[in-house]
A and B are shown apart, each in its own frame.
Chain A
């Protein structure tokens, strides 16, 4: 375990505005693959719309979930981790109380975030579920990286942009608040929250009236670099959609987004969900699984180069 101390922990959050794009499916399968690769992965079910990872991962109820953490009946997140039947993977169950994330107040949220960061794990995967509520956005923003899931449908694409814009607005407002700059916060609220402008339109107009604020706010967005996954692709055109979205986001939302991958549509996903068998284990050779495995390799924390160059005797 000494090796783990030299490895930076990655916190992945899987989100995106629309329901049914496959966020929980991706979270679960990605976490299983990461668990197999690394051996110390925790997956957190933070789905506001209704948690179901315990079903996807067929974990029995042990009476502890995020709800008990929020209600203060358990003081540490580590206590509510449950083993799964998959190697290297532990689960933190979502709360059956659907108002859980909505009721999460500021201090409890900070506590939750602190404890997520302190979890004894190499990687943490947070399944955010549907919606653009503040608490969902905040968990997405603290993740490095956040993963946005989109499907090739106008509604899903629209929600993706809405989600990204909400994240950006949230970052800008938090930034303004942090520096106690109410004037700036107001500008953001007026220029972005109350209309359908793109971020570019907002920043372009800000640049002409207040160049200094423009610079400050642009800098605030620099560290937000989400990944994009296009799910249920049926054609080359759908695959290219990912690159198109990344380009639109760069040009009109002024955010650097990277394409993590495109997952092909596969009818069997539906059946594997019904059978409660994780797809990646039932069809390891399928192109869906291959894609998810490639994503896991890309996302897995890298050991420090020195340990690669000098493998320990056991490794040889």
Chain B
């Protein structure tokens, strides 16, 4: 039985080994884009517009998941049942056994949220500069500069049982700003220094950092040392 494109896992889709390094993921993504984008010579005259739309969408998704260490871990565990080579790994540290159980039961919910987050990212990306499309490296750098992890902040807040309204008052930060932060709505956010400062204030408020401000708040979903505490 041939696997449908949408049934291929992200590794199969990008022709990657399960232990592919981030660099390999990036290269495979670039090659896949070059292969399947509208003017790609290799897919010339082969794909219907619908087939092309589908595979490009899958390629984007695959990249966004596999390039991020945390997303990739969660994803790996979700496909482990048909990829026995993938050893089930715990996502969180052993010392936080309680959290581990809680979060595991939330896995489906989390994956759904992840999906909607990715969809919004992709929409934003499509609106963006077309020139960047072919150069994922530049794009990554560009995005990395202003990405942070809204989902992470939201979970951190919810785990502390704090309503948005409450914490806005406590920290003396506008509620609209916090909402935009959690939803990663860039249009409603200040840029550069101001954003960094506000992030720092908010992080201290949530008790996410100890001394050095933003360090512990991942600045991007591509952050290497992402940890859930």
Contacts and interface: CB of A to CB of B under 8 A. Distances in A.
B2 A218 contact: yes
Contacts of B47: 198, 252
B52 to A, nearest CB: 11
Interface of A: 152, 154, 157-158, 161, 198, 200-201, 203-204, 207, 211, 214-215, 218, 237, 240-241, 243-245, 247-248, 251-252, 254
Given A218-B2, A254-B2, A161 B41 contact: no
17 contacts: A157-B42, A157-B45, A161-B45, A198-B47, A201-B48, A201-B51, A207-B1, A211-B1, A214-B1, A215-B1, A218-B1, A218-B2, A237-B34, A244-B41, A244-B43, A247-B31, A248-B46
7 nearest interchain CB pairs? A244-B42, A244-B35, A245-B42, A158-B45, A154-B44, A248-B42, A254-B2
A200 B34 contact: no
A19 B207 CA distance: 70
A247 B42 contact: yes
Q: Is the interface of A mostly helix, strand, loop or mixed?
A: helix
B4 interface: yes
Interface of B: 1-2, 4-5, 15, 31-32, 34-35, 40-48, 51, 55
Nearest to B4: A204
A244 B41 CA distance: 9
Interface centre among A158, A207, A251 (most CB of B within 10 A): A251
A241 B44 CA distance: 12
Nearest to A254: B2
B146 to A, nearest CB: 31
A204 B46 CA distance: 16
Given A207-B1, A244-B42, 17 more contacts: A154-B44, A154-B45, A157-B44, A157-B45, A158-B44, A200-B2, A201-B51, A204-B2, A218-B2, A240-B31, A244-B31, A244-B40, A244-B43, A247-B32, A247-B35, A248-B35, A248-B46
B44 A251 contact: no
B43 A203 contact: no
A204 B48 CA distance: 14
Contacts of B55: 251
Contact of A203 (B2, B42, B45, B46): B2
A245 B40 CA distance: 10
Contacts of B5: 200, 251
Contacts of A252: 46-47, 51
Contacts of A161: 45-46
Contacts of B44: 154, 157-158
Contact of B41 (A154, A211, A251): A154
Contacts of A245: 42
B1 A240 contact: no
A214 B4 CA distance: 13
A117 to B, nearest CB: 31
Nearest to A162: B45
B2 A207 contact: yes
A198 B46 contact: yes
B20 to A, nearest CB: 15
B46 A247 contact: no
Contact of B42 (A200, A207, A215, A241): A241
A121 B46 CA distance: 39
Contacts of A204: 2, 4
Contacts of B43: 244, 248
Contacts of B42: 157, 241, 244-245, 247-248
